[in-house]
């Protein structure tokens, strides 16, 4: 598909990679429905993309709310006059070791249910319901072809202190193949992109020592940029023969 033909939802679009993807798509002439809980970021995105060949429509979206997801999909379809794509980008971190023993006191702490539920709710359950409702709308309106891009992570292979995040991102990669098999009959492709360390507000909020150690282990010698990930997302959107697979874009990082 040509980028200019897309009427596409991007979640987590107020900043970082999501805002970058929305801008690139609007530059190519696409219609974009940008959602996020950060309404000030969405307002900044709308202002920054004025005058581009495409159009960025913005609305608050909490992907962890099933009701919000359904309402957003309906709004996006109406605002853009159709819907044929989704970039499933929204995500959060609530890192912590599953079990930790204090070296001085011997006290045991555990990953909390709140930490687990928050990450699974946004990164997996929310992402899954976004796919469900977007695909349901495309099928109901007999829209084809369509494309879903899931944002997984190299952490899906396992990463210390990220039991919740790794579980969610591994599930998204697995379900990319599952959904390929389910949605092919509807003319809908599903692909995933798995970033490594990328310069975004999320990674900027990491523990500095952990961040520096990760960057030092990247063979290309630098942290990634949102544009590096956009190149992969663009490939998935445009290549009609790509389906059901996950592309790692990580500079060779082994976590």
- Residues 6, 21, 129, 165: which is the catalytic one? 165
pTM for the full model?
A: 0.94
Report the relative pairing of strands 99-101 and 108-110 from DSSP bridges: antiparallel
Exposed, middle or buried, 250 (CB in 10 Å: 0-12/13-18/19+)?
A: buried
Which pLDDT value is given to residue 255?
A: 64
For the chain, the domains span 3-245
Architecture of domain 3-245: 3-Layer(aba) Sandwich (3.40)
**Is 165 in the active site?**
yes
User: 233 to each of 131, 162, 211, 239, how far by Cα in Å?
Assistant: 16, 24, 24, 10
Output the DSSP codes for 132-161.
Answer: HHHHHHHHHTT--SEEEEEE--GGGG--TT
Per residue in 183-210, pLDDT tens? 999 999 999 999 998 988 877 777 788 7
pLDDT in tens, 36-59: 999 999 999 999 999 999 999 999
Is residue 99 predicted with pLDDT exceeding 80? yes
- More confident call, 181 vs 214: 181
Rounded Cα–Cα distance for residues 167 and 153 (Å): 10
**Crossing angle, helix 163-183 and helix 127-140, to 10 degrees?**
20
Average pLDDT rounded to a whole number, residues 63-81: 98
């Amino acid at each position: 598909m040509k980028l200019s033909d897309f009427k596409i939802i991007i979640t987590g679009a107020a900043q970082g990679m999501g805002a970058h993807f929305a801008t690139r798509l609007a530059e190519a002439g696409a219609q974009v429905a940008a959602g996020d809980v950060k309404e000030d970021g969405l307002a900044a995105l709308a202002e920054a993309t004025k005058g581009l060949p495409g159009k960025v429509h913005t609305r608050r979206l909490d992907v962890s709310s099933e009701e919000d997801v359904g309402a957003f999909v309906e709004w996006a379809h109406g605002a853009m006059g159709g819907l044929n794509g989704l970039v499933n980008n929204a995500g959060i971190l609530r890192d912590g070791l599953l079990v930790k023993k204090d070296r001085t006191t011997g006290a045991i702490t555990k990953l909390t249910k709140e930490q687990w539920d928050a990450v699974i709710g946004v990164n997996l359950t929310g992402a899954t319901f976004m796919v469900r409702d977007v695909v349901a709308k495309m099928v109901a309106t007999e829209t084809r072809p369509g494309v879903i891009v899931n944002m997984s992570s190299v952490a899906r292979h396992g990463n210390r202190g990220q039991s919740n995040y790794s579980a969610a991102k591994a599930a998204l990669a697995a379900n990319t193949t599952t959904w390929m098999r389910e949605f092919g009959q509807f003319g809908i492709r599903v692909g995933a992109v798995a970033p490594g360390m990328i310069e975004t507000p999320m990674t900027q909020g990491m523990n500095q020592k952990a961040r520096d150690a990760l960057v030092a282990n990247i063979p290309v010698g630098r942290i990634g940029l949102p544009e590096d990930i956009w190149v992969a997302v663009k490939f998935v959107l445009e290549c009609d023969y790509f389906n059901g697979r996950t592309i790692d874009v990580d500079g060779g990082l082994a976590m």
